[in-house]
Amino acid sequence: FQLPIIVYITSSFRLISLARLCLPIATVASSVRRMSIQAEFQGIPEGMQLVEEGKAKIAVPKDVFYNPVQVFNRDLTMAVLNVFGQQYLAELAARREKRAQQQSEPPPEQQPDGLRILEALAATGLRSIRIAKEVPNVAKIVANDNSEEAVRLIKSNIVRNGVDELVEASLNDAVLLGHQCARLPPDERFDVVDLDPYGSAVPFLDSAVQAVRPGGLLCVTCTDTAVLCGSAFGTCYGRYGAVPYRGAGMHEASLRVLLQCVQSHASRHSRYIEPLLSLSVDFYVRIYLRVHRGQGEVKKIGRRLAMLHYCPECDSHWLQPMSDCGRDKAGQVLMRPARLLGVGSANGRCGQCGIGRLQLAGPMWSDSIHSVDFSILYVDNGASTVGEIASETEQPGCFELASSDRLIGLLSVAAEELPDAPLFYTLDGLARAVKRSTMPMKVARSALLNAGYRVSISHCEGNAIKTDAPASFLWDMVRAHYRQSGEQMSERHLGEGSLPKALLVDHPAAAGDGAASIDFSLHLHAEPPSKADGLLRFHKPPPNWGPKRVPSGKPMAMAQLLQRRPMLPPLLHRMTSLKIRMTMNFREHLAAKRNREK
């Protein structure tokens, strides 16, 4: 006895009729089971929502896991991995060929299979699925999470997107998984490790720097920017081992504190970092860095770290290196203690305003936070694109990103930043200190360029002045502009001991000719190139901007239970409705009692 049935296969949510088959009655039950399992993966359960991002389509719980603001974070990761994968695999191939030549053996014909990627905190697996579908030359992706519910969601999303050959779901503790990878030979570890937790990534850094292959890529996200920017000094020192800086350049300082923290974990295992790209975006910081192996370079890390002396009143700041580099009699590099900078007066007050007492912040990373040799921006016929991603072809790795305009603008600004000028001042911060109107950006940049100094903006702040000019020149520029503008200062701002009086009147340079020699004529490069090209440099935050709440296993509220009436047994539904009505009646009773008492 046979039954005619229709078998459907769902691919990318399109229903395709394969054939009208005649199967024995014994196989009907197994076919129905396979169809029901497939329908379970393809269907969207109640309480879930379908999210389409890039080339991935996933089901996520409502208002828990998915945050649309983080689309830019994932788009940036796709762009970085596209470029890094090509460079990294080419380096591996050249290294193997060189090793074969030294051993007088023919070079291996087979190229490296591809990148092995670990997403230690995968949640829904969206990032891993996007990597599998949008990044070429990928051999294996492990999407790990410590939650059974999250792993079930990852597995269903993997099947839904048809990437089960590349992506593997893992139920494990991220720290434990990293330490397990550390026991493997270096060539068997992951080429890329991605950390994107809720809050700080510090608990996972020690295992992550061991799980990544020497020369591999470590991607780290931290969303506790309030701590990194100085809202809780003790918390920042406890987590990151550094005192935060609370000033104009605090968002860039947060990146440098995080880089210092990663390096401190890497140094314990004879590893050192090479920052490729470090960005402060929205409510989080995101860094991409390579982890290399070498005890000799670890010993020289002190020259890349510094303490920050800053004045809380006028925001003048100076960097004090942790160590200096010299050579011994044999010509070998020798590290030695750095000499103390004379940045303040004898009583510890600021050398510029003489009012504020100098404070310390750090240690922090004082070297470049971006790599000059690593760029994911390419210029074709005067138009900037993000690697090969702006192409309209259908080849792997060539696709259009949703936030490509913002990516191009932000990366263009980051490429303009001076690599050897840590931190920055802001024009409104300088004007706020002397209680006067803000100097135009073109005027300030022209004065610095005409004096022979270099200047750039910062991706962290649109009104930033990042320059190699000393703080004394900046205040001379402010005083000169104040004189030329003819703006009158209010008497209440020129009281004894006030900051404007100390900087504009009482300062020794105010009576000299230093301010008069500053040239404010318009310079040819007064306008930043990114602004002249009309790029989208700074993003306006959308509504309901910020991190989502932490996922929790708390029971549903009564209102949520009442909304899910079909899922509740009749008796439980009646009890729930009765409890809610009693609560509402009691609240109305209390409100009426208060009114009577009034």
| Element spanning 252, H or E | helix 250-267
| Model pLDDT for residues 495-505, shown as the tens digit of each residue | 888 999 999 88
- The percent of residues in the chain predicted with pLDDT above 70, rounded, is 78
How far apart CA 73 and CA 288 sit, in angstroms, is 12
What is the amino acid identity at position 72? F
Q: Which of 113, 152, 155 is nearest to 136 (CA)?
A: 113
14: Cβ contacts below 8 Å, ≥ 6 apart: none
- Does residue 415 have a pLDDT over 80? yes
CA angle 551, 555, 557 (to 5 degrees): 100
Contact 5, 21 (CB under 8 A): yes
Question: 38 falls in which pLDDT band (50, 70, 90)?
Answer: very low
Question: What's the confidence (pLDDT) of residue 109?
Answer: 52
3-state percent breakdown (helix, strand, coil) of the chain, nearest 5 = 40, 25, 35
Helices 202-211 and 174-182 cross at an angle (nearest 10°) of 30
Instruction: Please give the average per-residue pLDDT across 512-535, as a whole number.
Output: 84
How far apart CA 8 and CA 16 sit, in angstroms, is 6
How many residues appear in the chain?
598
On average, the pLDDT of the chain sits at: 81
Question: What's the confidence (pLDDT) of residue 398?
Answer: 40
- Does residue 471 have a pLDDT over 80? yes
Q: Which of 233-247, 256-270, 326-340, 501-515 has the lowest mean pLDDT?
A: 501-515
DSSP SS3 for 517: coil
Q: Which of 498, 34, 419, 432 is nearest to 256 (CA)?
A: 419
Question: What's the confidence (pLDDT) of residue 387?
Answer: 53
CATH topology of domain 424-543: Phenylalanyl-tRNA Synthetase; Chain B, domain 1 (3.30.56)
Contact 203, 177 (CB under 8 A): no
CA dihedral 56, 59, 64, 68 (to 10 degrees): 30
Tell whether omega for the bond before 136 is within 30 degrees of 0, i.e. cis.
no
Question: What's the confidence (pLDDT) of residue 588?
Answer: 76
By CB atoms closer than 10 A (0-12, 13-18, 19+), residue 412 is buried
- Does residue 566 have a pLDDT over 90? no
* 497-533 exposure pattern, b = at least 16 Cβ within 10 A, e = fewer: ebbbbbbbebbebbeeebbeebebeebeebebebbee
| Model pLDDT for residues 206-260, shown as the tens digit of each residue | 999 999 999 999 999 999 999 999 999 999 999 999 999 999 999 999 999 999 9
What separation in angstroms does the CA of 551 have from each of 64, 66, 118?
6, 11, 22
How far apart CA 373 and CA 370 sit, in angstroms, is 9
| Element spanning 515, H or E | none
CA dihedral 368, 373, 376, 381 (to 10 degrees): 120
Question: 567 falls in which pLDDT band (50, 70, 90)?
Answer: very low
Instruction: Please give the average per-residue pLDDT across 488-492, as a whole number.
Output: 77
CA angle 521, 524, 530 (to 5 degrees): 125
What separation in angstroms does the CA of 543 have from each of 236, 504, 539?
29, 42, 13
Specify the pTM. 0.81
Instruction: Output phi, psi for 85, to 5 deg.
Output: -60, -40
How far apart CA 482 and CA 430 sit, in angstroms, is 12
Question: 10 falls in which pLDDT band (50, 70, 90)?
Answer: very low
How far apart CA 21 and CA 5 sit, in angstroms, is 6
Question: 537 falls in which pLDDT band (50, 70, 90)?
Answer: confident
Question: 311 falls in which pLDDT band (50, 70, 90)?
Answer: very high
How far apart CA 138 and CA 132 sit, in angstroms, is 7
| Model pLDDT for residues 91-100, shown as the tens digit of each residue | 998 988 888 8
CA dihedral 431, 436, 441, 443 (to 10 degrees): -120
